[in-house]
A = this chain, B = another copy of it.
């Protein structure tokens, strides 16, 4: 699932009926790709969220016939784009041969 930031609301007066009254949000990924997601969670603009794609995006909506392909699933409690996560908890010598390929 994608980690994206909610940038704005998307205003579309002319749209297909298959979207119903779903709210549309402009979201941006860490790589700068801007796209549109449906938002059953109601995330404030500026917050980092994670969103599911493909057929799962429809299942994440209250109305599973909504023809979205990207749906916001949750608001991340803490996320800092500048500080990528670092896997500190595990050293290569942990159980099993660890992450080194002979």
A→B interface (CB under 8 Å): 1-3, 5-8, 10-16, 18-19, 24, 26, 28, 30-37, 40-41, 44-48, 50, 52-60, 65, 67-71, 73-81, 83-92, 94-102
Question: Interface of chain A, helix or strand or loop or mixed?
Answer: loop
Complex interface: chain B residues within 8 A of A19 (CB): 73-74
Asked if B7 and A75 sit within 8 Å, CB to CB, the answer is no
Complex interface: chain B residues within 8 A of A33 (CB): 31
Complex interface: chain B residues within 8 A of A96 (CB): 13-14, 47, 75, 77
**A56-B57 contact in complex given A78-B97, A84-B34, C-beta closer than 8 Å:** yes
Complex interface: chain B residues within 8 A of A5 (CB): 87, 99
